[in-house]
């Protein structure tokens, strides 16, 4: 707890301590429509050698926690990279 802060000091504490517990997803969705950024191989459209493998590629928010889908995305990214680079 911040103690007996007032005025600007209290405002600074609130600004520094505030955080979100939301899991950001769907900001660079996978797909083929005009709102999509990533293809099925997790490559960003129009940028060579850049892939995204996190919750941002989900086309829709899951109804539960995002951890399990993110693990699946990571596992799939590993498979894609192993196949692409012969590992």
Annotated catalytic residues are 23
How far apart CA 79 and CA 51 sit, in angstroms, is 13
How far apart CA 36 and CA 58 sit, in angstroms, is 10
Report whether 40 contacts 30 (CB < 8 A).
Answer: yes
């Amino acid at each position: 707890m911040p103690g007996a802060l007032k005025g600007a000091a209290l405002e600074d504490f609130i600004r520094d301590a505030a955080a979100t517990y939301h899991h950001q997803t769907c900001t660079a969705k996978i797909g083929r429509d005009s709102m999509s950024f990533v293809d099925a191989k997790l490559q960003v459209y129009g940028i060579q050698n850049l892939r995204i493998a996190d919750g941002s590629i989900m086309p829709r928010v899951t109804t539960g926690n995002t951890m399990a889908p993110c693990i699946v995305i990571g596992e799939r990214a590993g498979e894609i990279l192993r196949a692409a680079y012969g590992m």
